[in-house]
Structure 1
């Protein structure tokens, strides 16, 4: 079972600017980028051009950058969280259950348009994890 822990930067409308900055400052290469409008789900006009997800490659490391829904802001210092990528839904459920103990559920673990099991939890230490199960 392969598990990846990837830093994920979540911004309120600044993802495109951040991506351009990391391309210039860190030599990042954009290997994937999609907007909320391209996702196939119904979104507000204000959200259409926001970055729903992007994958930057810096050396041998991935960095995810995306925008939140309009008006959703992470508190200062919370814009960077950790994305747990895994293919096994049962293991994803175990991680979710363990991390939410004494913490706070930000998004329940459930099937969404981009993942068969996705959730977000802030653990009891204040660290936010996104749990992303890959489609197989």
Structure 2
């Protein structure tokens, strides 16, 4: 099984600017990018206008490394210490669930583990040491 630890940067409305900067400064290649407005529910009016152009998720490749960059929703600024988190990526939902449950012991659940349109099992937890982890089941096999 393949498990990856990926740095995940969350910004308050400046993700596009950061992505452009990393492309120029680090030679990053954008392998995926989606705005909130391009996601599910946007066409039904479930996404506020101020949110539509923000980056919901992006993946950059820098050499052999991966970096994820996204925006928070307006009014939901990232908490101090959450600008950079670790995204644990695995193709196996059971493994993502196991790691999520282990990390939440003595910690704090930020986003309960659940299925989302982008992942069979996704959740965010701050462990007992104050480190924030996103447990993510990738739809792509690596």
What interval of TM-score do these two structures reach, taking the shorter chain for normalisation? over 0.9
**Greater CA drift, 7-16 or 39-48:** 39-48
Residues 92-120 of structure 1: CA distance to partner in whole angstroms, max 9, x if unpaired?
Answer: 11101100011100000001111111000
Distance across 2 between alignment mates of 1:133 and 1:118: 6
Could you tell me the TM-score, scaled by structure 1's length? 0.95
With the length of structure 2 as denominator, give the TM-score of the two structures. 0.91
Deviations 1:68-125 (A, max 9, x none): 1111122334200011111111111110110001110000000111111100001011
CA shift, 1:58, in A, is 0.7
Paired position in structure 1 for 2:26: 26
In structure 1, runs of 5+ residues without a counterpart are none
Task: Say which SS state the counterpart of residue 99 (structure 1) adopts.
Answer: helix
RMSD: 1.2
Whole-Å Cα distance in 2 between the matches of residues 110 and 88 of structure 1?
14
In structure 2, how many angstroms separate the alpha carbons of the residues matched to 1:76 and 1:28?
Answer: 26
**Uncovered stretches (5+) of structure 2, i.e. residues with no partner:** none
1:68 has 2:72 as partner: yes
Q: CA deviation at 1:31?
A: 1.2
| Correspondence for 1:116 among 92, 117, 120 | 120
Give every structure 1 segment of 4 or more consecutive aligned residues whose post-TM-superposition deviation is greater than 6 Å. Answer: none
Whole-angstrom CA distance in 2 between matches of 1:92 and 1:34: 23
